[in-house]
Structure 1
Amino acid sequence: MRLNNPNQNHLLAALLDAEFDRLSPHLDPIMMRLGDVLYESGAAINHVYFPTSSIVSLHYVLENGSSSEIAGVGNEGMLGISLFMGGNTTPSRAVVQTAGHGYRLKSHLLLEEFNRAGPVMRLLLRYTQALLTQMSQTAICNRHHTVDQQLCRWLLLTLDRLPTSELTMTQELIANMLGVRREGVTVAAGRLQAKGYISNRRGHISVLDRHGLEGDVCECYEVVKKEFARLMSDVRQRQEVK
């Protein structure tokens, strides 16, 4: 498999041959750089995006400019679900959290495929339900769980989308993701490092003990993981058969 291949994205890999053949000539491979803004809140959706090795963070931005992450999207999904949910604008800001590759597709092409009311529609609606579960659980987690637990959840969800245990990420950026003070992330990361779960250097986090993180994380991580598995499990089986 070459460095950037559509099949690295789970949704694209799950398409039937006829659907993939219609869309693949229009898939534009792109580099997603750290900090790139794919959508601004309220902007029209001209393209949808399918990350392969990158991760994109969806933020809700308040009037005073502050924001926090409501969901992350990696190789399991896509950006631009508002397109087929009845609107042509997005309520959130989409920012590249982890640099990598992905594919861009003109929105009208995906909408045409969705409106066939066939397998693509069912696949995207099931993915949307899983994404909404992640958003709901993130809201609950940010309200009821400690910063340590939120950080464990965020690290594990990020690891699930990457082939490595090395994360290039500043504590300030993580604080912006979680919507907490940077000092809170510093203290939480220090505690995880003291337990031997992570090694934390400036702008770089190495996960040394994933099982330790899984032992300390709140139930939110497992809820999101199980819902994605429940909704997309047979999609992965069809993918393996192809």
Structure 2
Amino acid sequence: MQSICQPVALKAGQSLGLPCADGHSKIYFLTGASVALLVESPVQHTLAVGLVGSEGAIGLGSVLSPVPGRLRCRVQTGGSAWAANSHDLAMLLHQRPGMLWVISQYLWQLAEHVATMSASVQFDDIGTRLAHWLVLSAERAQSVRLPLTHEHLAQMLGVRRVSITLAAGDLKTKGLIDYQRGVVNILDMAGLRECAHPQQAMLSAHV
């Protein structure tokens, strides 16, 4: 695998998944960055339906199908990754078919993640969704210090900036987070997890 990969540095805000000059796509195996999976509306509104970190990769679907997917990929937290050409990886999979099973398992897990995130838009309030996104961001970035502005969070959750300001203010009042100058610091991860998964917390309290 390493023979077809090159180390790259991804920058926050960078778009991934666009075809290269040779017509093939790049696949990124993340090692220090996190990437948001976005759905964009015709009027340029965005909604994040997933977040991938060092546990996963971006662009693996291009190995299985040349048809571009609807999800857009944007780097949330800059960092390192290994990049491979989709054609090169496809050739490697022909030589090592066992790798295809591993990739298929990961893509299934990613589909479950996207489904869960999509459902939360319908069933959870903004405060719960914000707490969940911050927990997820910390896990993917492996840091409790997150360079995330309110404007960025509003784009990720598909809501107005004022809604993020109110929800973040509530989390700050509870002593779970602090924020200033575009940086969110998580002060109480356990408490934030309870806000992110209130149903699970209620079940645990009755066990």
What is the TM-score of this pair, normalised by structure 1?
0.76
**CA offsets 1:191-240 (integer angstroms, 9 cap, x no match):** 00000000111200000000001111136999xxxxxxxxxxxxxxxxxx
Does 2:11 match 1:33?
yes
Letter in 1 for 2:34: I
Q: 1:49–1:102: 8 Å Cα contact kept in structure 2?
A: yes
The 1-side partners of 2:125 and 2:28 are apart by 32
The one of 169, 172, 175 aligned to 1:190 = 169
2:2 matched to which residue of 1?
24
Q: Which residue matches 1:226?
A: none
Conservation of the 8 A alpha-carbon contact between 1:47 and 1:107: yes
Distance, in Å, in 2 between the alignment partners of 1:131 and 1:144 is: 20
2:39 to 60, 78, 87: 60
Distance in 2 separating the partners of 1:68 and 1:30 = 26
Q: Contact 1:45–1:88 (CA<8 Å) still a contact in 2?
A: no
Secondary structure of 1:156's aligned partner:
helix
Instruction: Answer yes or no: is 1:139 the counterpart of 2:115.
Output: no
Q: Tell me which amino acid in the other structure corresponds to 1:195.
A: K
Q: Partner residue of 1:229?
A: none
Unaligned runs of 5+ residues in structure 1 are 1-22, 223-242
Write out aligned runs for 1:73-222 (5 A): 73-116=52-95, 118-218=97-197
The normalised TM-score by structure 2 is: 0.88
User: CA 1:93 to 1:40, structure 2 compared with 1: closer, same or farther past 3 Å?
Assistant: farther
Please state how far the C-alpha of 1:88 moved relative to its aligned partner.
3.9
Instruction: Write the distance in 2 (CA, Å) between the matches of 1:66 and 1:32.
Output: 23
Displacement of 1:113 after TM fit?
2.7
Matched-pair contact (CA < 8 Å) for 2:148–2:184: yes
Give the superposition deviation at 1:85: 3.4
Report the CA distance between 1:164 and its aligned residue: 1.9
Which has a greater percent of strand? 2
In 2, Cα distance between equivalents of 1:97 and 1:45? 24
Q: What is the one-letter code of the residue matched to 2:8?
A: I
Counterparts of 1:80 and 1:219, CA distance in 2: 33
Question: For residue 153 of structure 2, what is the amino acid of its counterpart?
Answer: I
Q: Is the 8 A contact 2:25 2:86 kept in 1?
A: yes
1:140-161 deviations in Å (ceiling 9; x for gaps)? 1011101110011111111112
Measured in 2, the distance between the counterparts of 1:105 and 1:193 equals 41
- Residue 4 of structure 1 is matched in structure 2 by none
Secondary structure at 2:42 match in 1: coil
For residues 104 and 199 of structure 2, the distance between their equivalents in structure 1, rounded to whole angstroms, comes to 22
Q: Counterpart of 1:161 in 2: which secondary structure? A: helix
Displacement, 1:46? Answer: 1.7
* Alpha-carbon offset, residue 25 of structure 1: 2.0
Change (3 A) 1:108 1:25: same
Aligned length: 198
